[in-house]
C-alpha cells in the first residue's frame, strides 16, 4: 500500500511539475507560444523516469496533455503531441538503461550517453510526432515543417542536457567544510551575475562564463556545475526572448543561442564526468596502496616471528 501511494504521489508530482515548467518554458519563448528553445519538462520527465522507474509515465502524459490543451491545440493534435512527449522520455530511459547509464553521471560514458541517446536521439521522437500533429491539425503549413521540427528537437534536447543532470545530481545531503560551502555559494552568485551581464551586453563577451563553469566542474563536479549551466542557459534564453541576444533575425538568434547553450551544457557535463572519473580512479589507487602496505606489513611481521622462532631455543 505504501509503495502504491508513493507511486501515485510521484505521478501527481510529475504531472504538476510538467505543467508548471511548461508554462515557464512558454514564457521563455522567442515567438509567443511558438518557438521555445529550452523546454524544461523534457529534462524533468527523463530525470523522473531514471529516479522512479517507468511506472510514473502517466504523470508525464497527464502533464503534457494539460499543457497542450491549455495552449488551445485541437484535441487530436493535443493527443498526438502528448503521445510523442510521453514516448520520447520513455525511449530515453530504455536507451540509457540498455547501455548501462549511471544516474550519478560520474563517467565519461554516462555523459556521452545522456547527450547522444537521452537528448539528441530520443528527443527526435517528440519533435517528429509533434510537428506531424501540428501539420495534420492544420496549425502549420508545409513550408514551416522543417523549422518547427528543428526548433522542437533542439528545445527538447536542451531541456534534457540542462535540467536532467541538475535533477539527477542535486545533493540530497552535502556535508562539506564551511569554506567550501562559501566557495560554492560565491561561485553560483558570481555565475548568475556574470551570465546576466554577458548575455545582455553588446560586447559579445559570452566566453567569460566558461571559466566559471570550468571552475565549478573541477572543484565540485555536477553538484555545482549543473546549477551553473542551468543559470547560464536560462539567462541566455531570457536575453533572447527580450531581443538582446544576437537579435539580427529569428534564425540567427536560434542558431547562436542553441550553439551557446549546447556548448555550456556539454562543457559542464563532460568536464564534471571526467573529473569524477579521475577522482574515483585516484581513490581506487589510494585504497590499493593502503591494502598493499598492510599486506607488506603483515608479511614482514610473519617473517620476523618465524626468524625469532628459529633463533630462540625452546624451553
Together in a domain, 116 and 196: no
Same domain flag for 99 and 131: yes
| Residue 227, pLDDT score | 93
195 closest CA partner among 185, 180, 183, 207: 207
Q: Give a three-class secondary structure readout of the chain.
A: CHHHHHHHHHHHHHHHHHHHHHHHHHHCCCECCCECCCCHHHHHHHHHHHHHCHHHHHHHHHHHHHHHHHCCCCHHHHHHHHHHHHHHHHHHHHHHHHCCCCCCCCCHHHHHHHHHHHHHHCHHHHHHHHHHHHHHCCCCCHHHHHHHHHHHHHHHHHHHHHHHHHHHCCCCCCCCCHHHHHHHHHHHHHHHHHHHHHCCCCCCCHHHHHHHHHHHHHHHCHHHHHHHHHHHHHHHHHHHHCCCCCCCCHHHHHHHHHHHHHHHHHHHHHHHHHHHHHHHHHHHHHHHHHHHHHHHHHHHHHHHHHHHHHHCCCC
The pLDDT tens digits for 154-175 are 889 999 999 999 999 887 767 7
Quote the cell numbers at residue 221. Answer: 563536479
Give residue-wise pLDDT tens across range 284-307. Answer: 898 899 888 888 888 877 776 766
Enter the C-alpha cell of residue 161.
542536457
Q: Do residues 158 and 296 both lie within one domain?
A: no
For residues 130 and 273, membership in a common domain is answered with: no
Reference 156, options 102, 252, 202, 87; nearest CA is 87
Number of neighbours of residue 59 by Cβ within 10 angstroms: 27
Global pTM reads 0.86
The dihedral formed by the CA atoms of 168, 169, 175 and 180, expressed in degrees to the nearest 10: -150
181 domain residue, yes or no: no
225 and 155, same domain (yes or no): no
Looking at the fold, whether 200 and 154 belong to one and the same domain comes out as: no
112 or 34, which is more confident: 112
Q: Are residues 119 and 14 in the same domain?
A: yes
**In this predicted structure, which of 49-53, 127-131, 183-187, 199-203 has the lowest mean pLDDT?**
199-203
Domain count, the chain: 2
Give the bridge partners for 31, in sequence order.
35
Same domain, 164 and 192: no
Cβ atoms within 10 Å, residue 91 = 19
Indicate if 159 and 207 belong to the same structural domain. Answer: no
Task: Tell me the pLDDT band of 314, cut-offs 50, 70 and 90.
Answer: low
Domain that holds residue 157: 1-168
**213 falls in which pLDDT band (50, 70, 90)?**
very high
Q: Is the pLDDT of residue 247 over 70?
A: no
Instruction: Match 531570457 to its residue by C-alpha cell.
Output: 238
pLDDT-wise least confident of 21-35, 36-50, 80-94, 153-167: 21-35
Residue 194 has pLDDT above 80, yes or no: yes
Nearest to 158 by CA among 275, 236, 67, 239: 236
- Is 84 contained in some domain? yes
Residue 177 lies in a domain: no
Residues 262, 45: Cα–Cα separation, whole Å: 19
Q: Are residues 247 and 253 in contact, defined by beta-carbon separation less than 8 angstroms? A: yes
Q: Which of 31-45, 147-161, 279-293 has the lowest mean pLDDT?
A: 31-45
Residues 9 and 129 in one domain: yes
Judge if 202 and 154 occupy the same domain. Answer: no
Amino acid at each position: 500500500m505504501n509503495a502504491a501511494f508513493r507511486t501515485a504521489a510521484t505521478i501527481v508530482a510529475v504531472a504538476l511539475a510538467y505543467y508548471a515548467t511548461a508554462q515557464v518554458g512558454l514564457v521563455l519563448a522567442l515567438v509567443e507560444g511558438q518557438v521555445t528553445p529550452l523546454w524544461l519538462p523534457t529534462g524533468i520527465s527523463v530525470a523522473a523516469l531514471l529516479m522512479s522507474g517507468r511506472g510514473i509515465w502517466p504523470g508525464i502524459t497527464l502533464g503534457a496533455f494539460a499543457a497542450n490543451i491549455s495552449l488551445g491545440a485541437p484535441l487530436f493534435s493535443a493527443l498526438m503531441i502528448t503521445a510523442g512527449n510521453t514516448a520520447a522520455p520513455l525511449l530515453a530511459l530504455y536507451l540509457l538503461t540498455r547501455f548501462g547509464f549511471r544516474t550519478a553521471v560520474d563517467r565519461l560514458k554516462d555523459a556521452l550517453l545522456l547527450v547522444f541517446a537521452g537528448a539528441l536521439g530520443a528527443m527526435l521522437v517528440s519533435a517528429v510526432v509533434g510537428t506531424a500533429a501540428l501539420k495534420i491539425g492544420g496549425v502549420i503549413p508545409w513550408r514551416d515543417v522543417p523549422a518547427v521540427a528543428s526548433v522542437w528537437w533542439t528545445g527538447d534536447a536542451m531541456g534534457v542536457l540542462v535540467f536532467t543532470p541538475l535533477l539527477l545530481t542535486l545533493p540530497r545531503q552535502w556535508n562539506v567544510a564551511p569554506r567550501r560551502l562559501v566557495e560554492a555559494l560565491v561561485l553560483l552568485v558570481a555565475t548568475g551575475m556574470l551570465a546576466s551581464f554577458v548575455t545582455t551586453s553588446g560586447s559579445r563577451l559570452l566566453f567569460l562564463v566558461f571559466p566559471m563553469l570550468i571552475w565549478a566542474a573541477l572543484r565540485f563536479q555536477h553538484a555545482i556545475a549543473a546549477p551553473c549551466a542551468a543559470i547560464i542557459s536560462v539567462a541566455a534564453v531570457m536575453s533572447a526572448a527580450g531581443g538582446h541576444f544576437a537579435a539580427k533575425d529569428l534564425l540567427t538568434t536560434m542558431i547562436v543561442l542553441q550553439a551557446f547553450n549546447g556548448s555550456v551544457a556539454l562543457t559542464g557535463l563532460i568536464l564534471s564526468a571526467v573529473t569524477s572519473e579521475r577522482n574515483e580512479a585516484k581513490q581506487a589507487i589510494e585504497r590499493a596502496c593502503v591494502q598493499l602496505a598492510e599486506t607488506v606489513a603483515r608479511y614482514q611481521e610473519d617473517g620476523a616471528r618465524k626468524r625469532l622462532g628459529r633463533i630462540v631455543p625452546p624451553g
